[in-house]
Structure 1
């Protein structure tokens, strides 16, 4: 079992892993603009694909048209987000696109399930860092 500090460190390592993947040019699928803002505030700056207002098949078509064969999936962590993730994974994998869900799973694990959405990630981490006593 990890301490609060160890969970925060693990969560920060996941963010670093995400940055490395983005530097390789792998786009991140998120639900909306607030998710993008949260991730950018954490220093993640890459290609973001927002999917809340676009049918999944259209996103798959666009990825294939742009020769993108791998994505990172960061939908929200609530029930709706899990269902959305499942639908996206099914559609994209059926088209031969690799979907990285590991980063999403690690964020859920190291946030103790306290996070409900990606847009809260920056605030969640910021508050944890502020609460550290040295």
Structure 2
């Protein structure tokens, strides 16, 4: 799976909603995972100060889509490159709607 391979080798920050999402991605070798566990403005500040590009892998539910839009816009305004195409490829290739369900859907 191309996107999972990329996630396991990239230096980009992989942004997820929670610990279960992070655990699911870690089990496939992803590193540099950032969990949204603080107020969003703080998360944006920390991501900007990391100096890395990022892949926002919030869920494909209404809340996840809202978070994605907010983060993408806030980060891009501050000069952070967001790799949106990888988000869409991830959900297209895996056929899932929540990141934490990754391990249950792939063999």
Q: TM-score, normalised by structure 2?
A: 0.88
What residue in structure 2 maps to residue 20 of structure 1? 9
CA–CA separation in structure 2 for the residues paired with 1:15 and 1:69? 19
Change (3 A) 1:47 1:111: closer
Q: What SS does the corresponding residue of 1:121 show, helix, strand or coil? A: helix
Structure 1: how far apart are the matches of 2:14 and 2:94?
20
Deviation at 1:63, TM superposition (A): 2.6
User: 1:41 — aligned with what?
Assistant: 27
Work out the CA distance in 2 between the residues paired with 1:86 and 1:42. Answer: 26
Partner of 2:56: 73
Which region of structure 1 is more displaced relative to structure 2, 99-108 or 26-35?
99-108
Residue 54 of structure 1 corresponds to 38
1:92 is aligned, of 75, 81, 85, to 75
Does the CA contact (< 8 Å) of 1:18 and 1:103 recur in 2?
A: no
Q: How far apart are residue 79 of structure 1 and its match?
A: 1.8
Question: What SS class does the counterpart of residue 93 from structure 1 fall into?
Answer: helix
How much does 1:80 deviate? Answer: 1.4
Q: If you compute each CA radius of gyration, which structure gives the higher value, 1 or 2?
A: 1
Over aligned residues, Cα RMSD in angstroms?
1.5
1:124 aligns with 2:105: yes
* TM-score for both structures, normalised by structure 1: 0.72
Q: Tell me, which stretches of 5 or more residues in structure 2 are unaligned?
A: none
* Alignment: residue pair count: 107
Give a deviation string over 1:71-130, Cα, whole Å, max 9, x none: 111111112111110011011111111111222101222234xx221001122112xxxx
